[in-house]
Amino acid sequence: MKKLLKLVLAGALAVLPSATAFAQTDITWWDFLSGGDGVRMKALIKEFNETHPDIRINATTLEWGVPFYTKVQTSTAVGQQPDIMTYHLSRFPLAIPSGILRPLAPEELAEAGIKKENYVEASWNSASADGKVYGIPFDVHAIVLYYNKNILKEAGLLGDDGLPKGLDGLDNFNAALDKIKATGKVQYPLSLHTDEGGSMWRVFYTLLSQQGGKFIDGDEILPGDAGVKALTTMANWVSSGYSPQLISYEASIALFTSGKAAMHINGVWEVPTMTDLAKNGNLGFEWGAIQIPVLMGQPATWADSHAFAVPNSDAKPITPEKLKAVLQIIAWMNEHSLSWADAGHIPAFRPVTESAEFKAMQPNATYAKLADTAVFDPVSPLAGVAGPIYEATQNFIVPALNGQLDPEEAIEQMREELKGQM
């Protein structure tokens, strides 16, 4: 009997270390990443889970935009929030005052090895307020100028380095559009997504910022005439036949990929589309992408960032154990963000963007310098993805650039609309 008891105890002791070694901290993850972004993030999560037996990420992808942010808000109120989530930095000015995001203490970040100096300054600053850090940036995603090398070469607008030339300055850019049109090889020199506010906000805000203009200055909306100049420029591209009128997102891309438009302004997130088409022999021309040329005085490009954040819930705060795991996940994701750059993004983690591997990635490495002059949405609850500014752009900017409203009148109506919501 004693011998049997010893055997049972020995067996129990043999099992205990193994059970302890594989004890897991389960982490609930929410994101809004679909398409190529979603594929790449799922791959990163899979790799993390396979290499970290002590932590298990249980990921759920929710609908992008208002549905996602509404669900986050309601879930935190009742203590059913995730442990970690993706969040647009442009939404932080709305989220921070409402208490949705948990601030991350310096000692918590230090323990995870997360240091400010390793991140793109503009992104890190956008994740901070009142001396507190509310999230960690993962990338910089901006609009870029896609171009057809074959057409630009024929128009005398391609340098020996394969990059466009003669596009800086609005007069030069418009002259370049005329040269492209004169080739007779394309339907449009420039393809813009002209029927939707989100896409047109990015172009408008870029041109506004290149003039040194502000969208919000104190209690004023669009002070001065920079907004009118930016919108008039966009409207002239459409009225001159350089860019199509009231065209959908998919159609604007198709114009470029079919060779019917020589250039196309869109987000870096369409780089995989171009790469895949070219790889499969379905593009029919050589392509490239560069940062938006300096058309109106100074370098500036609209940008946003995907960031990681921890929801703040008074009903059920995150435990110290889970927070430690979450910060470990965030640090690992940034350290392994080279694969995220495959989606066209510029990693916010400088050791990755400064690596030889990233510098060999094209066209990412060519336009990566835009991160240094990126302009993020105004710091206001009016701004951010699917916010009031996007809606106002849809209501006033889009009609004006399509010839349905005078640009000056559109800017004035936009001022009045948003002023009432401040």
Q: What is the domain-level CATH number for residue 273?
A: 3.40.190.10
Average pLDDT for 210-222: 96
| Distance separating alpha carbons of residues 275 and 279, to the nearest angstrom | 6
Residue 189, domain member (yes or no): yes
If asked whether residues 275 and 154 sit together in one domain, one would say: yes
CA distance 235 to 233: 5
Q: If pLDDT is split at 50, 70 and 90, which confidence band does 35 have?
A: confident
Verify that 209 and 279 share a domain, yes or no: yes
Q: Is residue 30 part of a domain?
A: yes
Residues 293 and 327 in one domain: no
Same domain, 270 and 353: no
**Residue 10 placed within a domain:** no
Are residues 226 and 246 both part of a single domain? yes
- Cα separation, 239 vs 242, in Å, equals 8
Whether 232 maps to a domain, the answer reads yes
Integer Cα distance of 149 and 265 in angstroms: 15
Domain assignment of residue 75, given as a range: 24-138+305-366
Pairwise CA distance, residues 163 & 172, whole Å: 16
pLDDT tier at 9, thresholds 50, 70, 90: very low
Is there a contact between 227 and 409 (Cβ–Cβ < 8 Å)? no
**How sure is the predictor about 22, in pLDDT bands with cuts at 50, 70 and 90?**
low
pLDDT of residue 268: 96
- What is the arithmetic mean of pLDDT over 185-207? 97
Do 223 and 314 share a domain, yes or no?
Answer: no
Tally of domains in the chain = 2
Clarify whether residues 283 and 323 are in a common domain.
no
pTM assigned to the model: 0.90
Pair (294, 397) in one structural domain? yes
Task: Please tell me whether residues 53 and 70 are part of one structural domain.
Answer: yes
Q: Give the tens place of pLDDT for each residue, 123-152.
A: 999 999 999 999 999 999 999 999 999 999
pLDDT interval class at 385 (50, 70, 90): confident
Inform me whether the pLDDT recorded for 237 exceeds 60.
Answer: yes
Output the pLDDT for position 316.
Answer: 95
**291-309 tens-digit pLDDT:** 999 999 999 999 999 999 9
Q: Do 194 and 77 reside in the same domain of the chain?
A: no
Same domain, 265 and 410: yes
For residues 381 and 94, give the distance between their C-alpha atoms in angstroms, rounded to a whole number. Answer: 4
